[in-house]
Amino acid sequence: MLTEQMSIELAQAGYLDIQVEAFLRDRRAQGMSRHTIKYYRNALKLFCNFCDTQAIKQVTQIVPGDIRTYLLWLSDTGHNEGGVHLGFRTLRTFLYWWENETEPDNWHNPIRKIKAPHMPQEPLDPVSLDDVRAMVNTCERGSFTGDRDKAILLGLLDTGARAGEFIALNLDDISQMTGEVLIRQGKGRKPRIVFLGAKSRKAMRAYLRHRPDVLRAPGVALWVTDEGERLSYWGLRDMFHRRSRLSGVKEPTIHSFRRAFALLMLRAGVDIFSIQLLMGHSDLQVLRRYLKQVTGDLEAAHRKGGPVDANW
């Protein structure tokens, strides 16, 4: 016999807000990062807000027309093409999860009838080497912050790591002998190995000389503030702001160093599949946006392999 509480739970089983919370619990149970959970929560909150305006309370009330209207609503409320695509991907993941989780009778998943919205494919701008050199030149040699900031700037460029991956590094994640850097939890919690070259390792050694009292035990942060706390993402942003202001260059984004890594590796002759592995991309589609080749690159490629000049 069903209790009153069980009856209420069964009656509410399809309520959208309750199912969103159940979905988020499932993501946490899978061990997804807090960043990923936050991204799902914020995107689905937007969808729930939209559904409130349409008097949609249950998952089974959602029809393909509602999803199309939602995507238009995202665009009309200031979201760019990337934001609209993000909203679509999140909703698709949620609805497929709900379908698999509940196995509802006589319900057809409306997302199956919706094509993914257009996603811009224009190449992304990398930071220029001249700007990086100018920022590095402002780093005061022999000071804690100067040596640290130089090591950070060169390290970001040399590893192609994401900002979150970079500031999460511990002292024991780096081999000064080989230059190997262990990214313990990349995107999707996938570990990978990246590398520091000889000049970046030299800058790293100059920075580490300011930390002789730190035992290289597991869990000791590599990048710290002058007060000994692990450097946060916002601390890293503040450093970028300070160094760009001192150097007189337009402040680059942290991610633009990752783009520069990809393009400079390609120009140096590194094959695209190795670049993909070093950057931790699951496929080449995302990597293509990083490889912004200017006309000079294409001209050089044609000089190298133009079929008439090479074979006539």
Number of helices (H), then strands (E), belonging to the chain: the values are 15, 2
pLDDT digits (tens, 9 = 90+) for 239-274: 999 999 999 999 999 999 998 998 888 888 888 888
Domains of the chain: 4-113 (1.10.150.130), 129-297 (1.10.443.10)
HSE-up (13 A, CA, CB side) for residue 207: 25
Q: Can you give the pLDDT at residue 295?
A: 59
Q: Which two tokens stand for residue 175?
A: 């081999």
The pLDDT tens digits of the residues spanning 133-186 come to: 999 999 999 999 999 999 999 999 999 999 999 999 999 899 988 899 999 876
Burial class (CB in 10 A: 0-12, 13-18, 19+), 309: exposed
- pLDDT tens profile 40-95: 999 999 999 999 999 999 999 999 999 999 999 999 998 888 889 989 999 999 99
What does 90-159 look like in DSSP terms, one character per residue?
Answer: HHHHHHHHHHHHH--TT---GGGG-PPPP---PPPPPPPHHHHHHHHTTS-TTSHHHHHHHHHHHHHHHH
Rounded CA gap, 173 and 86, in Å? 32
Q: How confident is the model at residue 1 (pLDDT cuts 50, 70, 90)?
A: very low
Burial letters 135-145, b for 16+ CB under 10 A, else e:
bbebbeeeeeb
| Structure tokens belonging to residue 291 | 């490889």
> Under a CB-based contact definition with an 8 Å cutoff, are residues 107 and 68 in contact?
no
pTM flag (> 0.85): no
Please give the Cα distance from 187 to 170 (Å, whole number): 17
> What's the pLDDT score for residue 297?
67
Structure tokens at 239: 């450093």
The radius of gyration computed from the CA coordinates of the chain, to the nearest angstrom, equals: 24
